[in-house]
Structure 1
Amino acid sequence: MWLFRYLFTNLYRAIQTSNGRLLLWLFFRYAGRPRHQSGMIPFLQYRFQVPDALSFVWQFKEIFADESYRFQTNSPEPVILDCGANVGSSLAYFRHTYPQARIIAFEADPDIGAILDQNLRTNRIEGIEVVNKAVWIDEDGIDFGSGEADSASLFSETNRRRVPSVRLRDYLLREPRIDMLKIDIEGAETDVLIDCRDVLTNVRNLFIEYHSYIGHPQSLGTVVQILEENGYRYYVDSNQSRVRPFVNHRYKNNAVMDLQLNIFAYRP
């Protein structure tokens, strides 16, 4: 049994839950499709339009199979801010898991934002305030590169355009308590956290997807310092196991990024 678990750890974990078994089916059914082709994928009680099947399957793994965004709260109506909502997978999870939650969702990419709106309407995922703007440090707009699937970024040079922005700090100041703040904004996270570093006291749980881009300074130390000075405990996870890291300097053979981490911060 232990040898089996060592050799087939991910498979062993997957078959323990219904969502894990569904993940295996999604991998077999959709992960081999040509990349960056739009299509409809049914899962659970939903039908989602997605711009890239493989990216969506990985989203399902993190959100529904692993339940990476599950948090504890004693509030009957928890407040959730989802920065970087993409096509709406996380919103479906939040609405199902916390049915009385007040949810505000932000999506910078106009094309992905249109898919997000469609998915929410089609699946009757209601009561969510959607802000089709980039989360940033001001309201002056930001130059943003629209990539394929989930690769849009502040640092992407593909299809760059100016998109409207909101200052996350303003939203944090409006709420006496935020039960979950999810920040997955593809390279803008450090600047935004620096701008918000003195207004995080009302945030109970904080998820940060940290990105490091080749040719730009790494800022993980700054992110961790902000968490520590605000009294968070944190857990850092990488969704890859890089072999020969002194030789292999790229994140999953990514052309522009050399590190991506999931940071889970919570108040003890």
Structure 2
Amino acid sequence: MAQLVKFEKTSCYAMSEDEAKFIYKEIFEDVCYDVANLPEEPFVIDAGANIGMFSLFLKQKFPLAKILAFEPAPETYSILRRNLELHNLSGVEALPYGLASQASTEKLTYFPNLPGNSTLKPEEKKQLYELAAERNGKEAAEKRFGGAQQLDVKLERLSNIIKSHPDFTRIDFLKIDVEGAELEVLRGLDDAHWGLVGNIVLETWDASNVRGEIEDLLKSKGFAIKCEEAAWSKGFWMISASREA
């Protein structure tokens, strides 16, 4: 059952209080998704919205922002909607599916005790489970990753979303946190739509083996990129991309 978790700068409902605290620190304190050159009314795509912490952060900084927030896990999507209602946020549209290179229905591995780690790439989470067991013991790892469920979730291409919204003239900020499927989200953009995107920030992990491909793709589309190892764990990387002048 979701519980209300209160922080210094916001509050939100979450299935896991510990995970909510981790996400809050990542977004509000470490400001890992901070972009300096956004307009006062940015249009933002949030791929992997989870419980909505990023939307809460961005709307505090840019009250006039318009956000499309994508979250495919049904229970997490429900909490996302609940958090948007809790803060009476306008200009945020939550959509119950994920973004990918092709429109399809796929199996999502959902972790009810650690929903932010739910993934379309479950083989990578086996490595995280083993690391957690090595550091904290098997019982603790099982508590976090146990009870995994296989759920059918809908995926859509970002270009199809753009085509269905003729008022889209730009994407000021594309934020991606999709647990191993980052490259797939980017591959869902047609060549004709790449020019609409001004800034991208995404998280990736060495185990996904896609960091090099992501960097090469972004460079080929005219972005200047910065890649830094994440503060919270070795092997995780934050890639920031912005249009070169």
1:150 aligns with 2:116: yes
Secondary structure of 1:90's partner? Answer: helix
Structure 1 match to 2:145: none
Q: Which runs of 5+ in 2 are unaligned?
A: 124-147
Q: Structure 1: how far apart are the matches of 2:232 and 2:92? A: 36
1:76–1:46 Cα change, 3 Å: closer
1:241-256 counterparts in 2 under 5 A? none
Match of 1:219 among 210, 214, 230: 210
Q: How many Å separate the matches in 2 of 1:43 and 1:126? A: 21
How has the CA–CA distance of structure 1 residues 133 and 102 changed in structure 2, closer, same or farther, with 3 Å as cutoff? same
Aligned to 1:100: 64
Q: TM-score, normalised by structure 1?
A: 0.72
Distance of 1:77 and 1:110 partners within structure 2 = 29
- 1:46·1:123 contact (CA, 8 Å) conserved in 2? no
Quote the offset at 1:241 in angstroms. 7.7
Q: Is contact 1:73–1:179 with CA below 8 Å preserved after alignment?
A: no
- Identity across aligned pairs (percent)? 26
Q: Following the alignment from structure 1 to structure 2, what is the Cα–Cα distance between the partners of residues 203 and 260?
A: 24
Q: Which has the larger radius of gyration?
A: 1
Deviations 1:73-94 (A, max 9, x none): 4634210111111111100111
Q: SS of 1:164's equivalent? A: strand
Contact preservation (8 Å) 2:80, 2:94: no
Q: 2:227 aligns with which of 236, 255, 259?
A: 236
User: 2:100 touches 2:187 (CA, 8 Å); kept in 1?
Assistant: no
Structure with the largest fraction of helix:
2
> Higher RCO, 1 or 2 (CA under 8 Å, sep at least 6)?
2
Where do 1:15-54 residues align within 5 Å?
A: 38-44=2-8, 46-54=10-18
Aligned to 1:265: 241
Deviation at 1:169, TM superposition (A): 2.1
* 1:229 CA displacement: 0.6
Residue 140 (structure 1) aligned with residue 104 (structure 2): yes
SS of aligned partner of 1:195: coil
* Structure-2 change in CA distance of 1:241 and 1:122 (3 Å): closer
1:164 has 2:154 as partner: yes
User: Which amino acid is 2:7 matched to?
Assistant: F
Amino acid at match of 1:185: V
Count of aligned pairs between the two proteins: 214
Find the counterpart in structure 2 of residue 12 from structure 1: none
Aligned amino acid, residue 220 of structure 1: R
